[in-house]
């Protein structure tokens, strides 16, 4: 019984939200009258939407000038085939928003919303569908308009420019993409001595030869080994703080000093290791001669070479700890 009541409740909720089971983008009825356009003057007999079925979804498809519901008040009578013009308050929803509630207003007595009806709207991608409510007796009608591809406005950081078959976004500075939804961190040219490249988390500076740092603003001394391109990833939010710049310059100097130290240790280690290998080789040779006991001098020489090898081995291990 409990689950039965839950099912009834969910069914009732779906009906209230206009989701009676059938996809409204598939199961709809077309309003094909060309005189629904707000640009068409009315003629007698005056028409009225008394036959609208509140259980059905409707699509405006009455020619070029009637592809969606009118979304602005037309302050005059006798257009759209009726006496009182009906228009929708608010913008149309995006596809992702699904079914939304809106208010349909009707102009009368110099009042853009003298009377109103609650309706529902769904964006089906290429067109819109509406769930409308009828009138018992009236001279009111839901009116149509040209398709406005900037309604809804999908340009997140820019201006939407509509045309006959679609739209394009004129993005604000620092943004790019079809809907101006991508932050263009390279627009401000943050890489002082290199090339800026957009990345997933922000941008990368590909530094010119002789420069390093987050913004390629740290000069590298000519004696230090450098690569032609140094890649450093900047955070998603760029800071212009002078304090951060000073810290980066200090870190660059420390990196240069550390590079020099490592190079020096490497050279010392390489030299010691060469001496160590030579001594080991000589010691191995003398050990072969040690198998001949008639040679008294061999044991003495082997002892001396062993001592030298131990000293070289100790120096090599000590250099690795630096």
Length of the chain in terms of residues written: 322
pLDDT of residue 16: 44
CA distance 189 to 195: 8
The pLDDT tens digits for 139-152 are: 899 999 999 999 99
Contacts of 293 (CB under 8 A, 6+ apart): none
Average pLDDT over residues 124-139: 93
Cα 249 to Cα 118, 143, 188, 213, 313, distances in angstroms: 63, 66, 21, 8, 40
Strands 211-212 and 218-219: antiparallel
Average pLDDT over residues 116-131: 97
* pLDDT(51) > 60: yes
**Domain boundaries 149-183, CATH class:** mainly beta
Q: What is the residue extent of each domain of the chain?
A: 16-145, 149-183, 261-322
CA distance 302 to 94: 89
> Which stretch of 200-204, 269-273, 314-318 has the lowest confidence by average pLDDT?
269-273
pLDDT of residue 223: 43
* Strand partners for 78: none
Whether the full predicted model's pTM is greater than 0.85, yes or no, is: no
* Region of residue 169 (phi > 0: left; psi between -120 and 50: alpha; otherwise: beta): beta
Average pLDDT over residues 184-207: 85
Most confident of 115-124, 175-184, 309-318: 115-124
Average pLDDT over residues 281-298: 57
């Amino acid at each position: 019984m409990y689950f039965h009541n839950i099912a009834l409740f969910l069914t009732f909720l779906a009906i209230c939200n206009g989701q009676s089971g059938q996809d409204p983008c598939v199961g709809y009825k077309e309003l094909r009258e060309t005189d629904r356009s707000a640009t068409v003057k009315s003629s007698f007999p005056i028409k009225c939407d008394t036959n609208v079925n509140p259980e059905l979804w409707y699509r405006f498809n009455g020619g070029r000038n009637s592809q969606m519901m009118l979304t602005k008040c037309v302050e005059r009578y006798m257009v759209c085939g009726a006496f009182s013009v009906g228009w929708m308050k608010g913008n149309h929803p995006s596809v992702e928003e699904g079914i939304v509630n809106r208010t349909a207003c009707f102009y009368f007595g110099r009042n853009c919303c003298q009377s109103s009806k609650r309706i529902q709207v769904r964006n089906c991608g290429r067109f819109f569908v509406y769930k409308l409510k009828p009138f018992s007796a009236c001279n009111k009608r839901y009116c149509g308009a040209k398709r406005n591809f900037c309604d809804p406005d999908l340009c997140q950081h820019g201006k939407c420019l509509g045309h006959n078959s679609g739209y394009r976004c004129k993005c604000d500075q620092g943004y790019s993409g079809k809907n101006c939804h991508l932050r263009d961190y390279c627009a401000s040219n943050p890489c002082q001595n290199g090339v800026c490249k957009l990345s997933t988390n922000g941008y990368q500076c590909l530094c010119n030869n002789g420069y390093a740092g987050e913004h390629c603003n740290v000069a590298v001394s000519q004696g230090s080994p450098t690569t032609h391109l140094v890649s450093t990833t900047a955070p998603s939010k760029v800071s212009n703080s002078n304090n951060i710049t000073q810290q980066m310059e200090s870190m660059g100097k420390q990196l240069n000093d550390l590079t020099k130290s490592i190079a020096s240790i490497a050279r010392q280690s390489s030299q010691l290791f060469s001496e160590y290998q030579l001594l080991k080789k000589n010691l191995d040779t003398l050990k072969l001669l040690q198998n001949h006991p008639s040679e008294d001098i061999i044991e003495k020489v082997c002892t001396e070479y062993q001592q030298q090898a131990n000293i070289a081995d100790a120096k090599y291990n000590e250099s690795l700890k630096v």
